[in-house]
A and B are shown apart, each in its own frame.
Chain A
Amino acid sequence: DAGVIQSPRHEVTEMGQEVTLRCKPISGHNSLFWYRQTMMRGLELLIYFNNNVPIDDSGMPEDRFSAKMPNASFSTLKIQPSEPRDSAVYFCASSKAGVSNQPQHFGDGTRLSIL
């Protein structure tokens, strides 16, 4: 079975540019999560969706960040404009339903570098 698929794997861009990260969850999973990992702050939850609806976006750093889930098989995380401090590894994860006893399955991440 295909796992969570993220693209691109690596992204290098200049400050001020728009960045779009993409995620395809595992088929049949109802919940989707975006995380960010840095050396300083570790792994942080940014936002999560249940049945394509954003449930908790309290982890989104600021208005420059936005996330969408137009359908059950696709989500995007957009940063506009990007800044050097946004450099991090961004992970997408999915799980079945919105219950706490279901494991989350993570993608391989997008390593983002803002110059």
Chain B
Amino acid sequence: DAKTTQPNSMESNEEEPVHLPCNHSTISGTDYIHWYRQLPSQGPEYVIHGLTSNVNNRMASLAIAEDRKSSTLILHRATLRDAAVYYCILNGANNLFFGTGTRLTVIP
């Protein structure tokens, strides 16, 4: 399985934008880039996914590098409810490999 690399933790001030990076240098041409997040005591929650083009939805934006070897999840205005572990995952065969993710702390 192609793996991803994310920082273990990040902090953001409330109401500020957050850029969560992910490296996936071994991505294959058919792998989709998925982002999930897990709030305390809950199951993972789908955030966004993309293949080549940048994507926007009501939760976040996904910026994908031109060579697809990295991507960035953008939360436009962090709120306290966004505090969670964020997972960047390559989905090539319906097999999601969850690494350790990035623990986002939002400071009031």
Partner-B contacts on A (CB < 8 A): 4, 31, 33, 35, 42-45, 48, 50, 55-56, 91, 93, 95, 98-101, 103-109
The 7 closest A-B pairs by CB, nearest first: A106-B43, A103-B46, A43-B98, A100-B91, A106-B44, A101-B32, A91-B43
B51 within 8 A of A: yes
In contact, B100 and A95 (Cβ under 8 angstroms): no
In contact, B95 and A42 (Cβ under 8 angstroms): no
* Shortest Cβ distance from residue A90 to the other chain B in the assembled complex, whole angstroms: 10
In contact, A109 and B43 (Cβ under 8 angstroms): yes
In contact, B49 and A103 (Cβ under 8 angstroms): yes
In contact, B49 and A43 (Cβ under 8 angstroms): no
Report Cα–Cα, A106/B36, bound state, in Å. Answer: 10
In contact, A104 and B98 (Cβ under 8 angstroms): no
Partner-A contacts on B (CB < 8 A): 30-32, 34, 36, 42-46, 49, 51, 87, 91-100
Starting from the known contacts A4-B43, A48-B95, 16 additional A-B residue pairs (CB-CB under 8 Å) come to: A42-B100, A45-B95, A48-B94, A50-B94, A55-B94, A91-B43, A93-B44, A100-B30, A100-B92, A100-B93, A101-B32, A101-B51, A103-B34, A104-B36, A104-B96, A108-B43
In contact, B99 and A91 (Cβ under 8 angstroms): no
Report Cα–Cα, A47/B8, bound state, in Å. Answer: 27
Which residue on B lies nearest to A106, using beta carbons?
B43
Report Cα–Cα, A50/B92, bound state, in Å. Answer: 15
Which residue on B lies nearest to A111, using beta carbons?
B41
Report Cα–Cα, A56/B92, bound state, in Å. Answer: 14
Report Cα–Cα, A100/B46, bound state, in Å. Answer: 13
Which residue on A lies nearest to B100, using beta carbons?
A42
Report Cα–Cα, A56/B91, bound state, in Å. Answer: 15
* Shortest Cβ distance from residue B80 to the other chain A in the assembled complex, whole angstroms: 21
Which residue on B lies nearest to A56, using beta carbons?
B95
Residues from chain B with Cβ under 8 Å of A91 in the complex: 43-44
Interface centre among A31, A50, A91 (most CB of B within 10 A): A91
